Copies of this chain bind each other. A is one copy, B any other.
């Protein structure tokens, strides 16, 4: 389901950082006496993929146990009473990013249902592009939905499938949906991992020892446990982990993978590995490409912290200009503050950042950020840097202009809110008030990401947010545009 959006004016909300946001992270473990505790730690390492809610479902051979809570993993899942409820040798978990309106606890995953085959829990990273369409069909046939989440469509498709075994029903369901999904599932038989045929969202396999396997959105969730990375789950692959070991099937017609390129630009943590590459290293290469494409004479390179930092280091090293923390980040980020009547200039930005005046005063500054979404924060950051005395400000963006919405599980503003869909680069430069502005080219981005694979068939990515080329059908989006008025199917209240 698409989330509604913040109002434009967000001056006092330090959370609204004008970034695209990954909407979910998933994690699962099979074969541990302390399954729930491991999931808690794994989700903590994936917290950057979703901060508004978290949930865990465990299974002890007899019963399923689920706990869900709004807020951070550390706030809700680090007490003994909660852990004690999550019994069992296998457990899966989910962190979620979402806005207030729709963030009822009932939407927090894992979703659970008692099917005729027994309990079934699912955690989903991604977004289906035909969820509304399928839901209407299912309701007409007598299915009753409990949430507004697109993930529930999976469950009803399985419950009403005419196939016999649970695995056949699962595959039957996956074949009916379109869009992006990396799933971690818990059943009486074991844990299942599945990735959509294009592999849009990541999913990796790890292990603590020969009997204890892990599924996770990113490798940083393996590191916190001291677990070993085994391999990526492949696009279109379904992996089953049970007491009889690991089995893998690929029930879909072959397709050319299209993993999300924005994971490299911003979503994934810099200490994670994706497709065998260090995210931190790729971002440094991006910075170096950017320095090559758009050099400038300057006194220092300053990252917009913290997401711009690796690219800024890469830029500084390539350009031979000193890297300095010209903007200092306040680590205690709070909720919305109430502003005084005489509004404080750019308070929203200052709650998180402060100019390091001594460094900036009288200097020519290269400001490096990972991307520009609506541009609201950029305007304020630049103004703050100028107020601190910077003589020139040159902005360098470590990705191409973000001009298109994402329908695959990323929170994007409506298209007309995206700065790059409304302005060309020159106009943006004036709007943001910088002496020069340059974005990395799409070719430069592919070069940085593929540097290690120069030969032959470098992989293609989902780069729809930059190019508008969506690799799947967008059934719901098309139907919505066709309908004069789309009335959201409002589901069970509260």
Contact = CB atoms under 8 A, between A and B. Distances in A.
Interface of A: 32-34, 37-38, 40-41, 44-45, 47-48, 51, 57, 63-68, 72-75, 78-80, 83, 112-116, 119, 139-140, 142-146, 155-156, 159-161, 220, 223-226, 269-271, 273, 278, 280-281, 306, 309-310, 313, 317, 322-325, 328, 330-342, 344-345, 347, 350-351, 354-359, 489-494
B75 A334 contact: yes
B142 A339 contact: no
Given A143-B144, A144-B115, A351-B224, A45 B330 contact: yes
Contact of A340 (B34, B271, B492): B34
Contacts of A78: 334-338
Contacts of A40: 337-338
Count identical subunits in the complex: 4
A143 B146 contact: no
B325 A280 contact: yes
Given A37-B337, A224-B354, 8 more contacts: A47-B330, A74-B335, A74-B337, A75-B334, A142-B143, A271-B354, A306-B331, A317-B322
Given A143-B159, A342-B34, A356 B271 contact: yes
A342 B224 CA distance: 14
Given A78-B336, A330-B47, A140 B114 contact: no
A356 B277 CA distance: 12
Contact of A159 (B48, B63, B142, B493): B142
B328 A280 contact: yes
Contact of A114 (B334, B336, B350, B492): B492
Contacts of A269: 328, 330, 354
A74 B271 contact: no
B114 A358 contact: no
A429 B389 CA distance: 44
Contact of A281 (B113, B317, B358): B358
A80 B338 contact: yes
B139 A340 contact: no
Nearest to A310: B325
5 contacts: A44-B351, A66-B494, A73-B332, A115-B144, A142-B159
A415 to B, nearest CB: 28
3 A-B pairs with the lowest CB-CB distances in the bound complex, closest first: A74-B334, A278-B358, A34-B340
